[in-house]
Amino acid sequence: MKNGRSLPSLTLLALCSLAACHQRAEAREPLPAPPYARQADGSLRVRDDLLPHLRFARVTRSGVRASLQGFGRVTFAPGASYAVRSPFSAFVERVLVNVGEPVTHGTPLAVLRSPEVARLRGEQRRIQADLDAARDDVSRLDRLVPQGAASERDLVAARARVSALSAELGGVRGALTAANASAGAGDAFVLRASAAGQVIARTIDPGERVEPNAAGPAVLIGDPAAVVVQASFPEREAPLLAAGEPCEFSVSALGADRFSGELVQVVQAVDPATHTATAICRPRVVDPRLRAEMVARVSLDVMGADVVTAPRDALLLRRDDRVMFVRRGAAVERRSVEVGATFGDRVQVLRGVRDGDEVIAENAVLLDGELDQLL
C-alpha cells in the first residue's frame, strides 16, 4: 500500500472522473432544433437551414394527356356468342358435337330425354282429339240450328269450346317448338344450334342430368373472330374514358405481343363493389390466338379536359391522410388533398390546392417525421 491509498479508492476516483467528463460533454452538445415553428395562423415557419433543401413547384390548370391502365379479360363481342340450355329437366342420351366444331343454324348438338316432353306430347295428342271432336260438333250444329233441331245457344257453346281448345293446343305446341321437340315421339328431343358459330364450350356428357336453371350452359357457341377486351379502370379515371379513343392491349398468355384497337363502349356506371369503371376495347385485327377468358391488360392515352395538377412527388401520406405543403409567404401550410387520375409525373388534385399555388415537390419529408410514405 503506497501513499496511504487503497486500490479500490483509486478505481472509484477514476470512474468518477470519467463520469464527470461524460456529463460535461453531454451538457455541451446542443439539442437539434425542430424543423419548423408553428405560427399563430397555423402556418409552419421552416427552419432557415432547411429551407434551401426544399424545392417548390407550381400547381397548374391545363389540358393534359393521361396514360390509363385497365385490367380485364378477352370476351365475345355483344351478340357474338350464345348459350344453349335444356328447356326441361332431362337426361343426356347422346352428345353430337365436340368443342371446336363449326355449327350452322339447326345443327343437332345433343339428344336428351325428359318426362316433361313426353307429358307435353301426350297433352298435344289429347287436346288435338278433343279439338277434332269439338269441330265436328260445330259442323253438326251448323246444320241442325237452321232446321230448329238444335238451339243457337248450343252452337255458341260449341264454338267457344273450339276456341278454348285451339288456344290450349297452341300453348302446348309453342312449348314443344321452343324446345325443338315438336317433331318426334316419346320423351326424346334434340338440342339444336340456333345460329352459326363454333362450339366454344360443352358441359354435358352422356348419362348426366341437366336442368334448365343450371349455372352453366349445356353448350356455348360463339364467333371466334368477334372478340373484344373488357377492362376495368379506377373510378377516378372514369371521366377520361370515351368511346372512339385508340387503345392497346396485351395478353399475358401471348407474351410481349401488343394488339391495337379502339374503345367502342364505356359503361356509364361505376361498380359500387370495386369502384371501377368498365370499358370495351375492340381489336382492329383479331389475332387467331386470342381466346375468350384470357387475362388482358389495356392501356390508352387520352387528352383530359382542363384539370388542376401538381407534381406527383408533392403528394405525401400522413397517417391516413394525403397531404401537400403549400407556400404561404415565408412559411408553409400543410393541407389535406383529394386526388384523381395520374398524368405521368403529375397528379390531378380535386380538392385542397388551387391553380397557382406553390407546393413542396422535393424533400417535404424533412418537415414531418410522420410523412413515412411518398406516393
Inform me whether the pLDDT recorded for 374 exceeds 60. Answer: no
> How do residues 45-81 score in pLDDT, each as one tens digit?
888 888 888 899 999 988 777 788 999 999 988 888 8
DSSP-derived 3-state class of residue 89? coil
Q: Which of 25-34, 211-220, 233-242, 350-359 has the lowest mean pLDDT?
A: 25-34
The pTM is what?
0.51
CATH 2.40.420.20 for domain 37-64+307-374, yes or no, is: yes
Average pLDDT for residues 242-252, to the nearest whole number?
Answer: 93
Tens digit of each residue's pLDDT (9 = 90 or more) over 347-368: 889 999 999 999 998 887 777 7
Residue 13 pLDDT more than 60? no
Q: Average model confidence (pLDDT) for the chain? A: 85
**By the 8 A CB rule, do 68 and 205 touch?**
no
pLDDT of 172: 92
Listed by start position, the domains of the chain span 37-64+307-374, 67-80+223-303, 87-221
Q: What pLDDT was estimated at residue 164?
A: 95
Give 300's strand partners.
68
What is the pLDDT at residue 34? 78
- Which residue(s) pair with 73 in the sheet? 230, 295
Judge whether residue 175 has pLDDT over 50: yes
| Domain spanning 67-80+223-303: CATH superfamily | Efflux pump adaptor protein, beta barrel domain (2.40.30.170)
List Cβ neighbours of 26 (8 Å cut-off, separation of 6 or more). none
Q: pLDDT value at position 29?
A: 57
Q: How far is CA 184 from CA 53, 123, 189, 221, in A?
A: 89, 14, 7, 25
Instruction: State the pLDDT confidence band at 249, using cuts at 50, 70 and 90.
Output: very high
- Given a cut of 50, whether residue 331 has pLDDT beyond it is yes
Contact 322, 337 (CB under 8 A): yes
Are domains 37-64+307-374 and 67-80+223-303 of this chain identical in fold?
Answer: no
Dump pLDDT digits (tens) for 255-292.
999 999 999 999 989 999 999 999 999 999 989 898 88
CA distance 314 to 364: 8
Model confidence at 372, in pLDDT bands (50, 70, 90)?
very low
Predicted confidence at residue 291, as pLDDT, reads: 85
**Rounded distance, CA 310 to CA 125, Å?**
79
Q: Are 309 and 349 in contact (CB under 8 A)?
A: yes
